[in-house]
Amino acid sequence: MAYRLDIKRILSLNFFHDLPKIMLGCALAAIATDLFLIPNGLAAGGVTGLATIIQAVGASHGISLPVGIQTIVMNALLLLVVMRAGGMFYVVQTATGFVLLGFFTDLFAPFVAPLAHSDLMLPAMWGGIITGIGYGMVLRAGANTGGSDTIGQIISRNTSLPVGSTVMAIDVAVCALSAPVFSVENALYAGLSMVISGYVIDAVVDGGNRRRMVLIISDKFPDIAADIMYGLGRGCTKLRATGMYSGAEKPVIMVIVSRRELNTLKTIVRERDPRAIVTVADVTETFGEGFKDINA
C-alpha cells in the first residue's frame, strides 16, 4: 500500500541540514557587498541596493544608517505582507536568509578594508561574481534573501504583471535611483554588476549540470537509437506519437546529452537520416543513472 510522504518534515530536515551552507553564502555575499559595492557607490538592485543609496544620503547629512539593519527592517516589513500566502515554512526560509545577510553585512563592515577604485569595472565585476556565488549558495540550500523577489510577488499578486519581469523592473529602477546620488556611471556599473550576479547565481544553482534534451522523429529510428546507445554511450527512450496530418504512428527518440555530446548526436542523425526532425531543449538538471546522483 502506498504511503504519503511528510513533505513538510522532509523540507524542514533538509533546511536545517543545509543551514551552514546558507550561513556561508550569506557571509560571502555580505563580504562582497562591504568590500566592492558599498564603498564604490554601486547600488546593484534589490533591497541592498536601495539601502546603499539611503546610507549615502544619510551620511551626507551626518546620519549613520547601516545597510544591514536597513535590509532587515525593509525585508521584515515586506515579509509581513506576503507571509499569509507563502506559509510558515516560506517565512522561515526567507527570514533566515535576510537576517543572516543583514547581520553579516554590518558585522563585517568595520573589519573589511573597502576596495574603493577609480575604475569601477573591477568592483562591479568582482562584486557581481562573489555576491552571485553567495546568493546562489543560499538558493541552492533552499533559502532566499527576500528583497526584490518579495516585492515582485506583492505587485504580481495585485496586477497581471509576471513576477520575473516585475523583479527585473524593480532592480533596474534601484540602479537608476542611484544615479542622482552617486553618478550615471555608477548606476551603469551597478547594472552591470547586477547582470553578472544573476548569471553567476544561475550557474551556482544549476551546479554546472545543464544538459540538452533531444527529441528525434525519423523513419530510421532503430539505427539512430542503436548509434546513440552503442556509439554515443547514452541511453534513450522511445515515445509513441501520432502525426496529425497523416494519422500514422511514429516513434520519437528522447535522449539527454551534454553540450559536448550534442554535436556528435547531430552528426549521427545527419548521417542516418538528413530528413529527420530534431528538437533540442535546455534541461537545467538531470538526475539518475548515468547522470548526477539525486542526493548531490
Distance CA 16, CA 182 (A): 40
Q: Is there a single domain that holds both residue 141 and residue 271?
A: no
Q: Is there a single domain that holds both residue 279 and residue 164?
A: no
Query: Is the predicted pLDDT of residue 152 greater than 60, yes or no?
Result: yes
Q: Is there a single domain that holds both residue 52 and residue 183?
A: yes
Q: How many domains does the chain have?
A: 2
Q: What is the arithmetic mean of pLDDT over 19-33?
A: 94
Where in the sequence is the domain holding 217, given as residue range(s)? 211-283
Retrieve residue 205's grid coordinates. 544553482
pTM over cut 0.75: yes
Q: Is residue 289 part of a domain?
A: no
Of 159, 184, 206, which residue is a domain's last?
A: 206
Q: What is the pairing mode between strands 211-217 and 277-283?
A: antiparallel
pLDDT tens digit sequence for 225-280 = 999 998 888 889 999 988 888 888 889 999 998 877 888 899 889 888 999 999 99
Per-residue pLDDT, 90:
76
Q: Is there a single domain that holds both residue 29 and residue 119?
A: yes
CB 32 within 8 A of CB 131: yes
Q: Is residue 222 part of a domain?
A: yes
CB 104 within 8 A of CB 68: yes
CB 178 within 8 A of CB 41: yes
pLDDT tens digit sequence for 114-129 = 776 678 999 999 999 9
